[in-house]
Structure 1
Amino acid sequence: MRSIEIDDEVFAFLQSRSEPLVDTPNDVLRRLFLKDANRPAETPEDRRPGDLMPFITAGLLKAGDKLIHVQPRRGLTHEATVTSDGWLEIEDGREFPKPSPALKAQTGVDINGYGKYVLKENPGVRLQDLREQLRGEA
């Protein structure tokens, strides 16, 4: 087996398309590039639902909703769009099944996406608030 080096951005991309504790980076590359691999190439229609899917099902979010995180000292505002399958698409087009890895890709640091993302249309509502509401309904 050969070794290759990849940068952090490529590794984050591979992680965003992997199933945690199941896929290796090689599995993801094989799935993306070799159509005849054990697992078929993942398309938006057949990928697993993201962590925000229960929010969509409960009517707390809908596809196309925007989430933002503001970094006032750096003068930055990061935006993510909720997809129809509960993933988050960030400004550069990458998609993530979970809020925290999406926000890490935007800020460059580990950060709680649930605690820091807020609804663009209602900045007083954090994603964490919606999660607590969802848990209260269960």
Structure 2
Amino acid sequence: MTIYEDQERRRFVDVMADHELDLPADKEEKRGRSAPTRYEIDGRRIALSDLLDAGLLLAGAALTWIRPRIGATYRATVLDTGQVRLEDGRTYASPSKAAMEAADVPAYDGWHAWVLPNGRSLSDLRSELLVALESRPGGGDPEVEAVAAGSEWTSSESV
């Protein structure tokens, strides 16, 4: 163990141990799939309607957010429009906004908060959608997918 002190007299401890992880130096050495930093399809954020369209989420699905530390449970329903309706009838376009309003907090990631009866979070479904899109020919690029499927794809830029 080594103790360092900086110019502002703050102390830092460096602990060397036999069980330290040997981390890869660069991304190429990493194994496995890392979580994406942005959840997008064709340059726009994934919405609940994308999960509905893919059949990963059904309209009318019950959502629950349990906060055991404060003893609170919030409930909501997914609408066929991709919106989230809270128990009190308030409706929101995003799961995060629904979570923030349900709990009366300034910020919260509703994709991780809301859980289906089977225990899967909306975040799990979103990740599943991205994996499914990446495994398709063209990796989710509509032009490449259309060519692979033998159909003609027209970009909105050329119309």
Q: TM-score range by the shorter chain?
A: 0.5 to 0.7
2:78 match: 82
Unmatched runs of 5 consecutive residues or more in structure 1: 1-49
**Contact 1:71–1:77 (CA under 8 A) maintained in structure 2:** yes
Shift of 1:86: 0.5
Following TM superposition, by how much is the alpha carbon of 1:112 offset from its aligned partner in structure 2, in angstroms? 0.3
Contact in 2 for aligned 1:69/1:79 (Cα 8 Å)? yes
Q: Does 1:129 align with 2:129?
A: no
Structure showing greater relative contact order (alpha-carbon pairs closer than 8 Å, 6 or more residues apart): 1
**Normalising to structure 1: TM-score of the pair?**
0.60
In 2: Cα distance, 1:107 partner to 1:51 partner: 21
State the alpha-carbon separation in 1 of the partners of residues 132 and 63 from structure 2.
22
TM-score relative to the length of structure 2? 0.53
Asked if the contact 1:67/1:117 (under 8 Å) is kept, the reply is yes
Q: Which has the higher helix share?
A: 1
What is the aligned residue count?
A: 87
Instruction: Kindly report the root-mean-square deviation, in angstroms, between the aligned alpha carbons of the 2 structures.
Output: 1.3
- For the Cα contact (< 8 Å) 1:88–1:97, is it kept in 2? yes
C-alpha distance in 2 between matches for 1:51 and 1:91 = 21
Which consecutive residues of structure 2, in runs of 5 or more, have no partner in the other structure?
1-45, 134-159
Question: Which 4+ runs in 1 deviate beyond 3 A?
Answer: none
Larger radius of gyration: 2
- Which of 50, 58, 61 lines up with 2:57 in the alignment? 61
| Greater share of residues in strand | 2
Amino acid corresponding to residue 50 of structure 2 in structure 1: P
Distance in 2, Cα, partners of 1:52 & 1:127? 8
